[in-house]
Amino acid sequence: MKKVFAIVVGLAVSAPVFATETVNIYSFRQPFLIKPILDDFTKQTGIKTNVVFANKGLIERVKREGKHSKADLVLTSNFSALIQLEDLDLTQTISSEAINNNVPAAFRDGDGQWVALTKRVRNVYSSKERVGALPELTYEDLADPKYKGQICTRSGKHPYNLGLVASMIAHHGEADTKAWLEGVKANLARKPQGNDRAQVKAVKEGLCDLAFGNSYYLGKMLQDETQKEWAEAVNINFPNQINRGSHINVSGAVITKYAKNPENALKLLEYMTDNKAQNMYASINMEYPVKPGVELSNLVASWGSFKEDSLPLDEISKYRPLALRLIDEVKFDL
């Protein structure tokens, strides 16, 4: 019994020992995506990185841990998480000339509480065979009854779709957006399911003709031998080019309020917003860099340039809770 107890206690308290120069990261973003960037950062600076990856609950964990939290930096995959961290007073000011030079003001918080690292566009894929390219397509069009039974999407409650619905509210107001959502739901070919990849596959297989999806999924699928044929079956369309531009979400980062290694965290952010890391984001994950002038991957560049919706992210973010309510009201996922 004593032995068992000793083993339990021994295992329980064997916390890892940290080197002196470290930065601890809570990451919503997948390890295989950020690891090459973190490895290069360690190579450049000698600063070791420790990561906890989870796609849910990390904000609550930082909040509960309070001032003893070991997290220095939180990496998120959408803007609403950044703004939630700020709203919960879990962030500190990022004050760096290098970052200000790297990232345009539209992609930084006005008070310096968060910074975007990459841009992701909410595109609409269309079947090459049955629909062709739709350069004049708008998000609004997707509620048109002429697309009945033709649209596929992942859950309406996914942050990428929520961001889009919130931006619709910001532009058109609550009532019109609800009507739009009802229209889109009526046009769905099947109940919302799967991720953005699954939608491309569904278009290829003829289950639907149009699908919502972030652009980088298409890039990643084109790099995968088995998924290439799905991706090649679709056109990528940038909606609303004839008016306000396509909806943009971002991945980003905050330095936590009680960071134990804020200087190292800042160094990492400076590195992540600079040419090399921005380039890696573009080439590994096929995302759009936030730093102007950084070269896109050839593939991403081949999709052409496009107009971005210029409405600030914190303006859109205000409507996110309402977007979720509307999605529940129209029972979008059910």
List % helix, strand, coil for the chain (3-state, nearest 5).
45, 15, 35
| Minimum distance from residue 185 beta carbon to other proteins (Å) | 13
| Given 73, 124, 137, 162, the residue binding other proteins (CB under 8 A) | 162
Q: Which stretch binds other proteins (CB under 8 A): 200-208, 247-255, 271-279, 281-289?
A: 200-208
Q: How far is the CB of 136 from other proteins (least distance, A)?
A: 27
Please give the size of the binding site for other proteins, defined by CB under 8 A: 57
60 counts as binding other proteins under rule CB under 8 A: yes
Asked whether 246 and 120 are in contact (CB, 8 A), the reply is: no
For the CB of residue 74, give the shortest distance to other proteins in the complex, in Å.
14
**Cβ pair 240, 248 in contact under 8 A:** no
Tell me how far apart the alpha carbons of residues 217 and 118 are, in angstroms, rounded to a whole number. Answer: 14
- 193: contact with other proteins by CB under 8 A: yes
Distance CA 27, CA 205 (A): 34
Is residue 216 part of an annotated ligand binding site?
yes
Question: Across 185-269, where does the E strand assignment appear?
Answer: 210-214, 234-237, 248-256
* 318 in contact with other proteins (CB under 8 A): no
Whole-Å CA distances, 69 to 63, 64, 256, 260: 8, 8, 9, 8
Binding track, positions 73-112, relative to other proteins; x by CB under 8 A: -----------x----------------------------
| Phi–psi pair at 73, nearest 5 degrees | -140, 140
Beta strands 288-289; 115-127: pairing state: antiparallel
Looking at 134-142, 165-173, 265-273, 320-328, which segment touches other proteins (CB under 8 A)?
Answer: 320-328
Tokens encoding 289: 């860099």
Among 2, 14, 105, 145, binds other proteins (CB under 8 A): 14
Indicate whether 70 belongs to the interface with other proteins (CB under 8 A): yes
239 near other proteins (CB under 8 A): no
User: Whole-number minimum distance, CB 4 to other proteins, in Å?
Assistant: 6
Q: Which of 2, 4, 105, 310 binds other proteins (CB under 8 A)?
A: 4
Measured N-to-C along each axis, helices 159-172 and 79-87 cross at an angle, to the nearest 10 degrees, of: 80
Contact yes or no for 293/278 (Cβ under 8 A): no
The yes or no reply on residue 148 touching other proteins (CB under 8 A) is: no
Interface residue with other proteins, options 38, 69, 74, 103 (CB under 8 A): 69
The CB-based long-range contact list for 31-36 (8 Å cut-off, 24+ gap) reads: 33/284, 33/285, 34/75, 36/280, 36/284
Rule CB under 8 A: say whether 223 interacts with other proteins: no
Q: Choose, by CB under 8 A, the member of 68, 97, 305, 310 that binds other proteins.
A: 68
Candidate residues 24, 235, 273, 317; the one interacting with other proteins per rule CB under 8 A: 24
Name residue 116's beta-bridge partners. Answer: 252
- Alpha-carbon distance 187 to 182, whole Å? 9
Could you write out the DSSP letters of every residue in 155-180? -TTSHHHHHHHHHHHHHH-HHHHHHH
Coil, helix or strand at residue 7: helix
- Least Å distance between CB 3 and other proteins? 10
Interaction between residue 19 and other proteins (CB under 8 A): no
Instruction: Please give the residue ranges that form the binding site for other proteins (CB under 8 A).
Output: 4, 7-8, 11-16, 18, 24, 30-32, 50-58, 60-61, 64-66, 68-70, 84, 155, 157, 162, 191-195, 197-198, 201-202, 204-207, 226, 321, 324-325, 328-329, 331, 333-334
Annotated binding-site residues for Fe cation read 216-217
